[in-house]
Amino acid sequence: MTTEQSRLKTTAAPDEYFASYRRPAMSGVDTTHQVILYLEDISVEFDGFKALNALSMEIGVGELRCIIGPNGAGKTTMMDVITGKTRPSSGSVFFGQNIDLSKLSEAQIATAGIGRKFQRPSVFEHHTVFENLELAYKCSKSVWPTLLAKLTGEQRDQIDTTLELLRMRQQANRLAGLLSHGQKQWLEIGMLLMQEPMLLLLDEPVAGMTDAETQRTAELFNDLRGKHSLVVVEHDMDFVQSIALDGKVTVLCEGSVLAEGKMSEVQADSRVIEVYLGR
């Protein structure tokens, strides 16, 4: 075993790695039924208020699922439950058929292969775009391994591939703090992709973007479709239309699923029009 393999071994929670991954990742995620995420009868209560009320949902492998609904519908709480930030009062949440997320910490859930992007971009503004992707790549986050580790040719290729996907090759040596809002959002998505997630949770990714940036983000998400499973929470209906295509759109209201189906079906649903689209 090489020094690098030994270091990876000690920093990983599980013993195994997905062969194509460059960092520790939890293997053995059972997706035999082609479902990556199960939420079953999830309820969350805060001081008597039910943020989630017996919420049940399934996300397929490689699916891009759009989640819409009015403010207070439970969208952010749902993501908090999936990532371990909030523990449900009742119900179960599974990654594949076999990994009970309610028993894992936030860090363990991230290692298992679930990445989350919040609405506000969070990048290292005093580092270049390339360095941000490099930092996201590192397996060990302790100081000395991070400072002393050198990228292999294969790792550089992975960063170059991500830059190409983001269409940010020309910005590789630009400080992240000088990027536009949209470019920072793409960079943060790229940083998540460097960690090879199986499931990506994206909260209002186009908020504050220009029309051109929003269109480019739609193209990026459509490129990611099938390679990763994506759950996208968004209020911009034009953007949702551009990424939903023939996939499912789920409408949340008062902590549970109000409607679910293709975008055209959801838009025609009188209940959805009344509580959300008609406003």
Q: How many domains, the chain?
A: 1
Band of pLDDT at residue 14, cut at 50, 70 and 90? very low
Q: pLDDT band for 149, please (50, 70, 90 cuts).
A: low
**What is the arrangement of strands in the sheet containing 229-233, beginning at the earlier edge strand?**
114-117, 199-203, 229-233, 64-68, 249-253, 256-261
Q: What is the residue range of 164's domain?
A: 3-277
Confidence band for 279, pLDDT divided at 50, 70 and 90: low
Tokens standing for 195? 């960690």
- Of 126-130, 139-143, 155-159, 234-238, the poorest mean pLDDT is in 139-143
CB 37 within 8 A of CB 229: yes
Bridge partners of 65?
231
Q: What does the radius of gyration of the chain's CA atoms come to, in whole angstroms?
A: 19
pLDDT at 48: 83
Give the pLDDT of residue 148: 53
Q: Which has the minimum average pLDDT: 129-143, 207-221, 224-238?
A: 129-143
Q: Say yes or no to pLDDT of 139 above 70.
A: no
Residue 105's CB: how many other CB atoms inside 10 A? 10
Q: Which of 97, 85, 98, 100 is nearest to 44 (CA)?
A: 85
Residue 277 pLDDT? 77
- What pLDDT is stored for residue 87 in this prediction? 95
Per-residue pLDDT reduced to its tens digit, 160-171: 999 999 999 999
| CATH label of the domain that carries residue 77 | 3.40.50.300
Match 């591939």 to its residue by tokens. 161
pLDDT at 255: 95
Does the structure show a pLDDT above 50 at 13? no
Taking the alpha carbons of 23, 26, 31, 35 in that order, is the dihedral positive or negative?
Answer: negative
Whether residue 118 has pLDDT greater than 70: yes
Arithmetic mean of pLDDT, 106-120? 90
Q: Which residues pair with 37 in a beta bridge?
A: 59, 95
Supply the pLDDT for residue 7: 34
